Structure 1
């Protein structure tokens, strides 16, 4: 670290921090050397965290050209925009001893590597090879790898946690449900997914256009998350200011899904057992004994639920 480091209110990259182009070049050379990689397993989690912050400062202040800057490509995932969520996620990962993480829809991973210093194994998955190239060229952390793949078909087994930051919002509602089921089936402990809890209703996006989603509302119906990590300050003028990462225990999601399936089966069985008249009308108990097939009472107290093929003549 720079010996003339100023107070924390100053922005990194200013002369007072001592982060010059020469400093950046030297630091990147050191942290990508074989000696550094051999030393990495023996470093403390706190040192790794400091190292990751410094590494990202270096990467963010490299001259990469406007077209390749994180600010130009992913404005919601820049180092500055993710300051709050990085702090919250880092604390959660450390407190819950998350040792391995699969990042579905990782993009260029420019901010995520700031929270994975104490993680032994990290896999970033993205469908876009261009962003993965940026991630590979800028991440030198041991145990970190990036693979091209479809998050809807990925294998999530073997990871303590699965993270997906804003990536699910590009999928259709049906694909979101299938992807979350696949993530939960991986057998990890936590799912950490972007959600907008202030959103009242979810729209579908079969064409792949991004939109905010509330994972606790239909058609997703996830239970309330174990933790809700807000990314932004609440702003009544910004409908998306509730953007958060919800943390769900996989065991809770699996139990909730099992309860929903049992309720659906019970509803179907109850519906099949109800007596229908010839017009597909369920009859209340007080009127069933007066009714034969093909006839229904004249009182209007019954309700039409559906036409049962077994009773259609």
Structure 2
């Protein structure tokens, strides 16, 4: 009976490709290779389709932030397949853009399709991006384990960015990620425990804008408490 339960638990924790505990790179490369999130427009999911509510909302919030705060450089983490961001950038030649993603084949695809834009391979959980006025992070932390959310916030705030705009879902229960498939996700509210980020400059149910220094202070507090 114990052996049967163990086998069932092992199957539950395994990916469709027979690997337990895959790295983030392996997870997201599997999503890209199998087109798990692909729609008619985007391999990055319906939230990247032109005309989708999340895209229209993101463009409004980016416009507000760039215009009101004088943002001149944006790091997009993750950039996905860049299906929609050019709609925002084409009328703002003053904004320096770099798109980061952990999936190297996707970055190669973006470079080929958009030779006038800059794209770089980056694992935000383990690497610090180059300085930018604003780090824009749409639909990322919801795909990460709690420990990797903290690492992501740590690396973003250590980058030299002034502002962090991150997906945060007000009222979400903040459960740990259950990795039943490579594209596993759940909603997170970064303003409540265990993250308890300080009050953002502005916030709605989908995106919140923080001063990077405020996030850095909360991450440092967390690190002291868990040392």
Normalising by structure 2, report the TM-score: 0.70
Query: Which residue of 1 is the match for residue 177 of structure 2?
Result: 205
- Judge conservation of contact 1:101–1:119 (CA < 8 Å) in 2: no
| Structure 2 runs not aligned, ≥5 long | 1-37
- Judge conservation of contact 1:110–1:135 (CA < 8 Å) in 2: no
1:256 aligns to what SS in structure 2? helix
Query: Which residue of 1 is the match for residue 156 of structure 2?
Result: 183
Q: Aligned pair in 2 of structure 1 residues 190, 83: CA closer, same or farther (>3 Å)? A: same
1:103-127 CA distance string (max 9 Å, x none)? 1111011122222334442211112
Q: Distance in 1 between matches of 2:216 and 2:43?
A: 39
- The structure whose RCO (Cα within 8 Å, separation 6+) is larger is 2
What count of residue pairs does the alignment treat as equivalent? 183
Q: Distance in 2 between matches of 1:119 and 1:172?
A: 36
Higher radius of gyration, 1 or 2: 1
Normalising by structure 1, report the TM-score: 0.52
- Judge conservation of contact 1:71–1:78 (CA < 8 Å) in 2: yes
Q: Structure 1 residue 78 and structure 2 residue 49: aligned? A: yes
1:198-243 CA distance string (max 9 Å, x none)? 31x2111163621111111222111121112x4xxxxxxxxxxx3x
RMSD: 2.6
- Judge conservation of contact 2:78–2:102 (CA < 8 Å) in 1: yes
Q: CA deviation at 1:258?
A: 4.6
2:197 to 215, 222, 238: 222
| Structure 1 runs not aligned, ≥5 long | 1-66, 231-241, 269-313
Q: Distance in 1 between matches of 2:220 and 2:111?
A: 39
2:208 to 219, 236, 246: 246
Q: CA deviation at 1:251?
A: 1.7
Q: Distance in 1 between matches of 2:202 and 2:70?
A: 16
Q: Structure 1 residue 127 and structure 2 residue 102: aligned? A: yes
Q: Distance in 2 between matches of 1:156 and 1:127?
A: 12
Q: CA deviation at 1:88?
A: 2.2
Q: Distance in 2 between matches of 1:134 and 1:69?
A: 17
